[in-house]
Each structure stands twice: as structure tokens, then as C-alpha cells.
Structure 1
Amino acid sequence: MKSEIAENVETATKVCSQRGDWALMQSSCNNQLKWSLGQVEYGKSLLLWHIATDLYYYNNDRLDDDELQFCKTISDYMLYLLLMKPTMMVPVVGNWRQVFWDTTAEAKRLFHKRSIRDRWEACKAILSVDTEFEPVVLKGDASESVLFDACRLAKQLMEKEEPLRLMSKVWVELLGYAAVNCEAIVHVQQPSQGGELLTFVWLLMNHLGLGKQFCEKPTRTRYKLVVKK
């Protein structure tokens, strides 16, 4: 859909700059959910949506649903890149490490307090948190944890008519945004290391005119000096 409307470099650049926002704008929940995407750093948004996707996944009875599996797979893959191949995400993620460790610490405290060891119980425990209170009341203003916000996002998604369609579109945008912003030299190194899905997405997007590698640049004007007697 984006490649069809990207008739020039300016439009292509604009649609490639969207990281979930465009998917929200195509739905009726942009105002309600935009806080979780364009209004926060990409790395923080990625962690937030990953946790919300997990909460939705393990609270769903239809685990064989193709769209649900797609969301879960892309969500896990993006977290894998963030933790195991951060060089591919450096240009966009921001200061995500503190967010990750604070979120992990808060989750561990909750699981320890309730003696939880099973992931299904863990998701139920997180979803049981009352999201009517401000995060600062529960986690303190010094913590960068997104556990509370992820719980709020998951509950908001569960209230939608077609949450999986929206979630899958958001994850495709988050994937595409990371692909086009990763340095070309980093992508080039991947085939010799086994290859990465992110690199193939980057190649596909450039093929469709959505990347940054083939942007039109103004041609430098040359003047010819003619000397007359």
C-alpha cells in the first residue's frame, strides 16, 4: 500500500518515517493509542508493544490463529534484534537499556511477590494491575519501566473489534522502520553471517522505492566558460 502512494522521493521518505503511526491513522483508534508509538522513543515503543503483544497472546484461546502467530513472531524477532544484534538497531532505538532493565526488575518483583513461575500466570498477574492509577504511583518516578504502560496498551487492544489486524500492521511498520534506518554497511555484512530478515525487508523496500539508498539528489549544475577574443 505504501509503495503505491510513494510516487516521489518526498512521499516515500514521509511514509518510511512512520513507525506504527500510519497504521493507527488508518484505523479509528489513533487518538487512543498514539501515545504508545510516535510520542515515545522507538526502543521504548518496541519494548512496550512487545510486552503488550505477549500479554494479548497468552490471554488468547486461539493460539493457532495465523495473524496472532504473525504478531508474536515479529514481536519476538524484533526483541531478538534489540538484545542480540543491537548494531542493526542503533540509529533508532535511543536509550532503551535502562527501560529494559527497569521493566525486567519490576516484573521480577511482581512475580516474586506472587510466587509466579508460569508465563500464563505471569500474564494474568500483569493484566490484573489496575491501570486507572498513574504509573508513578506504582513504580516510582525514578523508574523507566514500561510494564504498567504495556498492560494499559494490552487492555486497550483487547477492547478493539479487530485488534490483530491493527497489531500486525503496527509490527510491519516497526519492522520496516528499523530496516530502512539501519546503516547500509551493516545490512551488507549480514549475508556472510547467515542473513537476517531485516536485511531482506530492507532490500524489498528499496526495490519498491521505499528505502533511502536511491533517493534523488539535485544534480550539480556545470557551467562552461567561453573565452572570446
Structure 2
Amino acid sequence: MLAEAREVASCICSNWAKVALICCQLNINKQLLPYPYPTRLQKCCYRHNALRSNNGQLSNGVGFLQDHGGRDFLWACTDGEATSDVILSWHIATSILEAKLHHHHPLSSSSSDNQIIVATHLSRYCAYLVNCWPELLPDDDKWSKSLYDAVTKDSEHGVVKKGVRLGRQLTELKGEEAWSLLAGVWSEMILYVAPSDNLSAHSDAIARGGELITVVWALLMHLGIYKRPRTRPAADANSV
């Protein structure tokens, strides 16, 4: 019993479990995950449709918003200097929505609560990357780190104001609709930032125990997706 409990705990805490949540959100089927991993996670991923890569074009959330009635939120994916400030803006907005709803919305096994888990965990993880592992992100790592420091110290920073504006806009939606939108955007975002040429940074991440983004990076490479689109995401509707 102890051995089985350890196995279950290891499954839940593993990077594979996190990848499975993304798989469920983005309708990725078993062809994406050809390597052995827990059967429960296989069932979670296998029941969905195939990954639609559209010639390998990734999206920072624009694709999901365009396909799911979220065009009013497109500005939050395009009104930014680079990926890091888009991440921080959406992270602030997600935190606002979590603070507003989470205290009177205990988690259960419902699809809405699963979307809350996906959105909040990926939001925190992407913000963590900006702060601690910016070299794994598309932007200049020193610029990303300085941006994070500036945003955390200045409540009047442009990124903070954009995040607050986005948070207010999200609170106007019904709770389930808002969390569905956030889960979709964050799931696309983690795929968008994963492609990287910085092999050294990923090697360092693996040496210290591994990062979720490294797992996603390897999976995308397995599918032949090595780069993000050169055009601005808003100008290219192709997305995962």
C-alpha cells in the first residue's frame, strides 16, 4: 500500500501530470506522448482530438481568443513590447480573478474547477519563468528579469495597469466563461514560449531536476515544431 501511495504521489507531482493538464485543455491526442507514463494520464489525453499545428504555427493566446469568442481580449496579447510583459499582464489579471472568486468557490472535480487549476498553475509557472528562468523564454533574459523587478516594485507600471484593466474586463464575464478563457490562453502560452535555441539553459534546467517548459519543448521538437512564427501573433490566426 505504501509503495502504491508513493507511486500515485509521484504521478500527481510529476511534470507529466502537468503536461497532461495541458493536453486535456488543448485537445492533444496520444500521438503527442509516445513514451510510457501513467495510464490515468493516458486516458485523460487520449479521449481528445489530434493536435492541430497548422504548419507549426504557435500562438501566445491569440488563436484561442479568435476561435472562442474572445476577440475583445486580443489587445492584451498584442499591446506589449515582448512576450514577458504579455505574460505578466495576464498573470496579474489571473491573480485578480482568483482573489475575487477563489475564496467562495471551493475546488471540486467539475470542468470549471479543472480550468481554474490549469489557469492558475500555468499563470504562476510562466511568471516564475520570467523571474527565475528568463533565459528559457523568447525575450532577452536580462530585459525580462529587469521587467519583472520593475513590475513588482512599481504599482503604476504600464504592465500593472494593463493587468488590472484586463482583470476588470475578465470579472465582467461569468466565472466559468472567464476561467475557460484563461485556461485556453495559458495553455497556448506555454506552448508558444517553449521552442528555444538555448540548449545550455535547458541542460542546466535538467541538471537541477528539470522544468515543465523543457518537457514541452522536447514534445514540440518531437512533432517537428522548432520555432515560433516570425509574424506578430495577431497578424497570424494559425495556432495550436
Output the TM-score relative to the length of structure 1.
Answer: 0.65
Per the alignment, in what secondary structure is the counterpart of residue 180 of structure 1? coil
CA RMSD of aligned residues (A): 2.6
- Looking at structure 2, the residues matched to 37 and 168 of structure 1 have their Cα atoms a distance apart, in angstroms, of 14
Match of 2:105 among 62, 70, 74: 62
1:59-98 superposed matches below 5 A: 59-60=100-101, 61-64=104-107, 65-89=113-137, 91=139, 95-98=143-146
Q: 2:92 matched to 1:51?
A: yes
Q: 1:193 to 1:103 in 2, by over 3 A?
A: closer
Q: 2:139 matched to 1:151?
A: no
- Looking at structure 1, the residues matched to 106 and 83 of structure 2 have their Cα atoms a distance apart, in angstroms, of 28
Q: 1:90 to 1:28 in 2, by over 3 A?
A: closer
Q: Which amino acid is the alignment partner of residue 123 of structure 2?
A: S
Stretches of 4+ moved more than 6 A in 1? none
Structure of larger gyration radius: 1
Q: Which amino acid is the alignment partner of residue 53 of structure 2?
A: A
Q: 1:159 to 1:179 in 2, by over 3 A?
A: same
Match of 2:76 among 36, 43, 53: 36
- Looking at structure 2, the residues matched to 90 and 6 of structure 1 have their Cα atoms a distance apart, in angstroms, of 19
Instruction: Name the count of aligned residue pairs.
Output: 171
The answer (yes or no) to whether the contact 2:131–2:145 under 8 Å persists in 1 is no
- Looking at structure 1, the residues matched to 167 and 141 of structure 2 have their Cα atoms a distance apart, in angstroms, of 22
C-alpha displacement of 1:63: 4.6
- Looking at structure 2, the residues matched to 191 and 103 of structure 1 have their Cα atoms a distance apart, in angstroms, of 29
Structure 1, unpaired ranges of 5+: 108-138, 213-229
Match of 2:184 in 1: 169
The answer (yes or no) to whether the contact 1:50–1:79 under 8 Å persists in 2 is yes
- Looking at structure 2, the residues matched to 63 and 80 of structure 1 have their Cα atoms a distance apart, in angstroms, of 25
Match of 1:6 in 2: 53
Q: 2:196 matched to 1:181?
A: yes
Q: 1:183 to 1:91 in 2, by over 3 A?
A: farther
Match of 1:190 among 205, 208, 231: 205
The answer (yes or no) to whether the contact 1:52–1:150 under 8 Å persists in 2 is yes
Match of 1:22 in 2: 63
Output the TM-score relative to the length of structure 2.
Answer: 0.62
Mean CA deviation greater in 84-93 or 50-59: 84-93
C-alpha displacement of 1:98: 5.0
The answer (yes or no) to whether the contact 1:50–1:75 under 8 Å persists in 2 is yes
- Looking at structure 1, the residues matched to 98 and 182 of structure 2 have their Cα atoms a distance apart, in angstroms, of 11
Structure 2, unpaired ranges of 5+: 1-26, 29-49, 108-112, 228-240
- Looking at structure 2, the residues matched to 38 and 181 of structure 1 have their Cα atoms a distance apart, in angstroms, of 21
The answer (yes or no) to whether the contact 1:88–1:183 under 8 Å persists in 2 is yes
